[in-house]
Amino acid sequence: MFKHILSKLPLKSSKAKHGEKREHGGTNNTIFDIVSSATSSSIDLGTNKSRTNGENHGNKNSKVGNSKVSSSSSSSCGSLPSLRDVPSSEKQILLIKKLNLCCVVYDFTDPTKHLREKEIKHHTLLELVDYLTCSNLEFCDETVMNDSIKMVSTNLFRTFPPQLHENRVTEGFDLEEEELPMEPAWSHLQIVYEFLVRFIGSSDIDAKQVKKYVNQSFILHLLELFDSQDSREREYLKTILHRIYGKFMLHRPFIRKSINNIFYTFIFETEKHNGITELLEVLGSIINGFALPLKKEHKLFLVHALIPLHKPKCMIFYNQQLSYCITQFVEKDYKLADTVIMGLLKYWPITNSSKEVMFLCGVEEVLELTRLPEFQRCMIPLFRQIARCLKSSHIQIWLLRKHCHCAIVITLRA
């Protein structure tokens, strides 16, 4: 009944922040098209202008000791031949050289510096992605694995500049969605992310071998990147985290615990994070795969992390994903229904009518999965809260009161 009435309400829909999203980053041309065009044509790296001209990296501080640009590395990198043009006996050595070449991180704050070197690195990264896709046996070597993860870490793991979250949090329900800053070094970062996606997803690379490099420290750094303001980066991170969770069973408890810690910090300390929506999307898939009966650890995660996510003012940005995760729990164990409803009542908004509408929709979704014993345990406080809602003078809540008599008659007849 609520859903029929509330379907008329003018809730804001989330707009795509950077154009149409695609599976791994939301660009108009897929990275595979870029790789194919780069590897199928000969390119004079010494004369081409840099594609990164005009960009500012803006993130100088790295968490893994980025390589510094030197004249020796810049002058030697252009002389490396293509991996397809050398004998098989020399491919591994050349591959390691190219991986080390791509460990050089350039400063994008000055678009006039290192134009040729940036272009060389750009095409070297494309070549590495293409080579990993077509012939990845060399990547099974321990040294190559180590250098691959080193290259990824050096490029991706960085400190973000301070972000202005305050206005989005406090005025989020009335504020038109603003365009967030785009990552200026994306022309390099996107290819590194694509390399990591294919590296983790490769069936030829043994999980037992690579787990010493894709370790807990690596995963923590990846999770920190979810606070990126660039939605394209968060889309890649979502895909990579999901693949790591699926491939490395040893890391699954650690990943869940780390996400839990991010939620705790967000809920009870900062209320500032750009990646809550994406983390909840990953969790939706994880929860869907939970075996029955649910473990105590999983139930505690629902009570201590997911339900309190209704507390922050900016819940509007991730309400849909949060509702999906919670209903997944109730579908797997209907006995959790009263726990969820009582949790929603605990965080019920007092002065925010838009948020109150979301809570009513959430209660309806849970009630559809609730059985009589669980309903009886929570019906008195639930009806008291609904009665308070019916007294509201807000037009959105008033629509419920308009049909209240009909709802009571139907309930009594049932």
So where are the chain's domains?
A: 29-170+181-350
Instruction: Read off the pLDDT of each residue in 62-88 and give the average, rounded to a whole number.
Output: 61
* Residue 54, phi-psi category: left (phi > 0), alpha (psi -120 to 50), beta (remainder): left
221-231 tens-digit pLDDT: 999 999 999 99
CA distance 272 to 317: 12
pLDDT in the model for residue 72: 42
pLDDT tens for each residue of 299-344: 999 999 999 999 999 999 999 999 999 999 999 999 999 999 999 9
3-state DSSP call for residue 183? coil
**Residue bearing the bigger pLDDT, 192 or 50:** 192
Contact of 99 with 144, CB cutoff 8 Å: yes
| 7 phi, psi to nearest 5 deg | -65, -20
Q: Where are the alpha helices (DSSP H) in 202-352?
A: 207-210, 216-224, 231-247, 252-265, 276-288, 296-301, 319-332, 337-346
Contact by Cβ (8 Å): 183, 235: no
Give φ, ψ of 242 to 5 degrees.
-65, -40
Distances (CA, A) of 56 to 52, 53, 104, 113, 182: 9, 9, 16, 11, 10
What pLDDT does residue 37 have?
A: 47
| Residue 62 β-bridge partners | 158
Half-sphere exposure of 197 (CA within 13 A, CB side): 19
Identify the sign of the CA torsion 89, 93, 96, 102: negative
Q: How far apart are CA 315 and CA 310, in angstroms?
A: 6
Q: Residue 163: name the closest of 183, 147, 149, 135 by CA.
A: 183
Rounded to an integer, what distance in angstroms lies between the CA atom of residue 129 and that of residue 135? 10
Phi first, then psi, for residue 50 (nearest 5°) are -70, 135
Q: How confident is the model at residue 108 (pLDDT cuts 50, 70, 90)?
A: confident
CATH of span 29-170+181-350 = 1.25.10.10
Q: How crowded is the C-beta side of 215, counted as CA atoms within 13 Å?
A: 7
Is residue 153 within 8 Å of 192, Cβ to Cβ?
no
Token pair for 413? 């007849």
- Which residues, in sequence order, are bridge partners of residue 19? 17
Strand partners, 17: 19
Report the distance separating Cα 267 and Cα 16, nearest Å: 25
CB 127 within 8 Å of CB 38: yes
Angle at 259 between CA 254 and CA 263, to 5 degrees: 145
More confident residue, 390 or 40: 390
The per-residue pLDDT of the chain, averaged, comes to 80
Instruction: Look at residue 203 and tell me whether its pLDDT is greater than 90.
Output: no
Residue 244 tokens read as: 């790591």
Query: Region 85-110: what's the mean pLDDT?
Result: 90
Counting every residue written for the chain, the total comes to: 414
Whole-number Cα distances in Å, 108 to 72, 188, 245: 20, 11, 33
